[in-house]
């Protein structure tokens, strides 16, 4: 039996690609999703990361079947598009619930197991949008910015127990994430944001259609899990997207913002 890894969001996209790749690479993969389905090759488990009880029950089932848990890869997430002014608080909460608190639930269930066994790996699938904010997807970016801070702090706390934390930051990826993005409906007949939203989301959808394959992200996750000294952050995607992270760090913000606007569709 290979090392045991639990992945969330395993039914599609980056999660599915990562589960498939790790399974082919000899890992014992448990893929968690709300539907609890698997194409074969790895074991499924039902887990809704938005629900405390579902996460607890899912982990209980995994630990009944397996004597240890070597790694967790948190991939579950979705996107919300619309102007900040028009986004209902309930929709914003739902976005952060999955993309941030869902990760927290999973990690808190994994940590006691990893501490007892003397170590483990935690990979959090963040986003370049967690470093460079995306207009008209503010709450998606907010959830990923929060994840970045959480992952860095977590790494400091659990390092002494042999638990290593990495944030993987994908850029644009060709997945059903684009099709499944939820859009905010304007409450007004005449929407002052309509043209700007349509332009920015159109640019984003085109970039996603031209993005890297989900297996490219999966390959980075696999490399992180096999590394003796995994990085705290690693980006994956086209070069111009990844350069944006460095540009934001080194350029005066006004200059960075001016350069970034056209690529972000604003």
Q: What is the pLDDT of residues 49-81, one digit of tens each?
A: 999 999 999 999 999 999 899 999 999 999 999
Q: Which residues are catalytic?
A: 11, 126, 140, 144
Confidence of residue 48 (pLDDT cuts 50, 70, 90): very high
Give the residues across from 121 on adjacent strands.
Answer: 71, 164
The pLDDT score that the predictor gives to residue 2 is 82
In this prediction, what percent of the chain has a pLDDT beyond 90? 92
Query: Is the pLDDT confidence value at 157 over 90?
Result: yes
- The boundaries of the domain holding residue 235 are 4-264
Confidence of residue 40 (pLDDT cuts 50, 70, 90): confident
Q: Are strands 28-33 and 43-46 parallel, antiparallel or unpaired?
A: parallel
DSSP conformation letters of 99-113: IIIHHHHHHHHHHHH
Q: What is the pLDDT of residues 107-137, one digit of tens each?
A: 999 999 999 999 999 999 999 999 999 999 9
Distances, alpha carbon 36 to alpha carbons 7, 33, 76, 211, 265, in Å: 12, 5, 13, 28, 37
The pLDDT score that the predictor gives to residue 13 is 96
Query: Is the pLDDT confidence value at 186 over 90?
Result: no
Q: What is the pLDDT of residues 191-247, one digit of tens each?
A: 999 999 999 999 999 999 999 999 999 999 999 999 999 999 999 999 999 999 999
For 153-156, the CB contacts below 8 A with 24+ separation are: 154/107, 154/122, 155/232
Three-class SS of 123-181: EEECCHHHCCCCCCCHHHHHHHHHHHHHHHHHHHHHHHHCEEEEEEEECCECCCHHHHC
In this prediction the pTM is: 0.95
Nearest-angstrom CA–CA distance, 97 and 41:
30
Closest to 147 (Cα-Cα) out of 110, 190, 98: 98
Closest to 73 (Cα-Cα) out of 3, 173, 176, 156: 3
Residue 78 sits in a domain whose CATH number is 3.40.50.720
The pLDDT score that the predictor gives to residue 184 is 94
The pLDDT score that the predictor gives to residue 1 is 60
How does the average pLDDT of the chain come out, rounded? 95
Query: Is the pLDDT confidence value at 188 over 80?
Result: no
Chain center to CA of 59: 20
Closest to 210 (Cα-Cα) out of 241, 164, 251: 241
Query: Is the pLDDT confidence value at 35 over 70?
Result: yes
Query: Is the pLDDT confidence value at 190 over 90?
Result: no
* Count of structural domains, the chain: 1
């Amino acid at each position: 039996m290979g090392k045991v890894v639990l992945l969330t969001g395993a039914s599609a996209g980056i999660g599915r690609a990562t589960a498939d790749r790790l399974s082919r690479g000899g890992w014992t993969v448990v893929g968690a999703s709300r539907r609890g389905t698997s194409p074969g090759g790895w074991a499924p488990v039902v887990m809704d990361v938005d629900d405390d009880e579902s996460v607890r029950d899912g982990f209980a089932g995994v630990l009944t079947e397996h004597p240890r848990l070597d790694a967790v890869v948190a991939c579950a997430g979705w996107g919300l598009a619309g102007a900040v002014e028009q986004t209902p608080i309930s929709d914003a909460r739902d976005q952060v619930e999955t993309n941030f608190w869902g990760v927290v639930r999973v990690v808190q269930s994994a940590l006691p197991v990893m501490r007892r066994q003397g170590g483990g790996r935690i990979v959090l699938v963040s986003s370049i949008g967690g470093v460079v904010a995306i207009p008209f997807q503010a709450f998606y970016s907010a959830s990923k910015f929060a994840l970045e801070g959480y992952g860095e702090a977590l790494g400091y706390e659990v390092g002494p127990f042999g638990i290593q934390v990495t944030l993987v930051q994908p850029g644009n990826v060709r997945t059903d994430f684009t099709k499944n993005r939820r859009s905010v409906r304007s409450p007004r007949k005449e929407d002052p944001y309509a043209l700007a939203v349509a332009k920015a989301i159109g640019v984003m959808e085109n970039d996603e259609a031209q993005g890297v394959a989900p297996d490219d992200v999966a390959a980075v996750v696999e490399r992180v899990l096999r590394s003796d000294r995994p990085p705290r952050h690693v980006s994956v995607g086209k070069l111009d997207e990844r350069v944006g992270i460095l540009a934001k760090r080194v350029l005066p913000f006004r200059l960075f913002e001016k350069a970034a606007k056209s690529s972000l569709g604003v």
